């Protein structure tokens, strides 16, 4: 594989994003607004409980958790990738990739990387300002291994999210409008990945179920490693399950593309 052409795609992705820089900037910044509502809600909850912990989280730990979700969300969550891919299929732009020596999955992965880099750069200052404002809530890991494993898990979480978005977009080979399917899946994902609340405050039986589903490993798991909430055998088994989901989501993305292309060519022919 010639990596230079994908590096060029990465560069093109950066340039395309800067064409709409103000829209991009405002969308990135206002994406932080929900955090304020979340902090206020949890402050009210802890106030009503007289400051009592919620499943091992005090108010400071809960705020720190949601600060990390904002950071992780900007680092790894795909933005409109599935809509762009579906548009390539519906509008016939996929034809150009089928006759050129370009791996479409590699092409989209390069664009995903460029978009995530810019989102991270744009939101780095406001996120850093938020962390500084809540600096008394911040507790960083003391162990180097925790930092390393958190980074590895975070990278896998980003790839899992990307491959799921890519697989969803592949449905456009068979159906014209994928928005309903995307909405349904992302509703479950948002609720069950740790965006709304830490998953370890849920009942134990439900936690056991979520532990084998991919949603946990898209957001909550790398944050839990960083916070020291997952250790020992649970840590290593979780990393093994996350690795398994990374392989399965890649396999789904790869398989759906190749089957979709055969269907696409048959219909086009």
The tens digit of pLDDT for each residue in 113-148 reads 888 887 777 777 777 887 888 888 888 999 999 999
Q: Which residue range(s) make up the domain with 184?
A: 3-268
Q: Which pLDDT value is given to residue 265? A: 57
- Over residues 35-41, mean pLDDT: 80
pTM: 0.87
CA pair distance 261, 203, nearest whole angstrom? 43
The pair of structure tokens assigned to 224 is 């839990």
Cβ pair 10, 111 in contact under 8 A: yes
Contacts of 19 (CB under 8 A, 6+ apart): none
The burial class, CB within 10 Å (0-12 / 13-18 / 19+), for 205 is: exposed
**54: DSSP letter:** B
Q: Which residue has the higher pLDDT, 181 or 19?
A: 181
Helices (H), the chain: 3-19, 21-30, 33-48, 59-76, 81-90, 94-98, 104-133, 144-170, 179-192, 204-210, 220-227, 232-268
Q: Tell me: pLDDT of 19 over 60.
A: no
Best CA proximity match to 109, nearest among 129, 136, 84, 91: 84
Q: Could you tell me which residues come within 8 angstroms of residue 162 by beta carbon, excluding any fewer than 6 positions away?
A: 78, 81, 108, 109, 112
Greater confidence, 223 or 132? 223
User: Contact at 8 Å (CB) between 107 and 97?
Assistant: yes
Structure tokens at 59: 């108010």
Rounded CA-CA distance 188/178 in Å is 16
End-to-end, the C-alpha distance of the chain in Å comes to 29
Of 182, 82, 194, 74, the closest CA to residue 124 belongs to 74
Q: What is the pLDDT of residue 269?
A: 45
Q: How many independent structural domains does the chain possess?
A: 1
pLDDT of residue 262: 85
| Position with higher pLDDT, 268 vs 35 | 35
CA distances from residue 60 to 26, 52, 192 in whole angstroms, order as listed = 28, 12, 22
Q: What is the C-alpha to C-alpha distance for residues 110 and 258, in angstroms, rounded to an integer?
A: 19
- Phi-psi map region of 196: left, alpha, beta (phi>0 left; psi -120 to 50 alpha): alpha
Q: What are the pLDDT digits (tens) for 80-110?
A: 788 888 888 888 888 877 777 778 888 888 8
pLDDT band at 12 (very low <50, low <70, confident <90, very high): low
Closest CA to 162 of 84, 108, 92, 207: 108
The residue to which tokens 């180097």 are assigned: 144
Average pLDDT of the residues in 203-225? 93
């Amino acid at each position: 594989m010639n990596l230079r052409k994908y590096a060029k795609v990465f560069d093109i992705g950066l340039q395309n994003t800067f064409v709409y820089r103000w829209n991009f900037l405002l969308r990135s910044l206002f994406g932080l607004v929900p955090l304020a509502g979340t902090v206020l809600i949890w402050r009210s909850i802890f106030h009503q409980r007289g400051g009592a912990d919620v499943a091992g989280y005090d108010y400071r730990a809960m705020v720190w958790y949601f600060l990390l979700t904002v950071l992780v969300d900007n680092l790894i969550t795909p933005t409109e990738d599935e809509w762009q891919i579906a548009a390539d299929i519906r509008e016939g732009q996929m034809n150009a990739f089928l006759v050129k020596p370009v791996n479409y999955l590699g092409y989209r992965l390069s664009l995903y990387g460029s978009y995530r880099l810019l989102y991270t750069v744009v939101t780095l200052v406001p996120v850093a300002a938020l962390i500084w404002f809540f600096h008394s809530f911040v507790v960083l890991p003391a162990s180097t291994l925790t930092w390393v494993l958190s980074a590895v898990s975070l990278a896998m979480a980003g790839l899992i999210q990307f491959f799921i978005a890519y697989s969803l977009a592949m449905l456009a080979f068979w159906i014209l409008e994928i928005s309903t399917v995307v909405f349904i899946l992302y509703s479950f994902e948002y609720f069950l990945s740790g965006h709304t609340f830490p998953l370890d405050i849920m009942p134990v039986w439900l936690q056991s179920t979520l532990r084998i589903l991919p949603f946990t490993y898209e957001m909550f798991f790398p944050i839990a490693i960083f916070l020291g909430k997952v250790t020992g055998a649970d840590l290593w088994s979780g990393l093994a399950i996350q690795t398994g989901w990374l392989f399965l989501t890649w396999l789904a993305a790869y398989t759906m593309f190749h089957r979709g292309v055969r269907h696409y060519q048959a219909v086009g022919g």
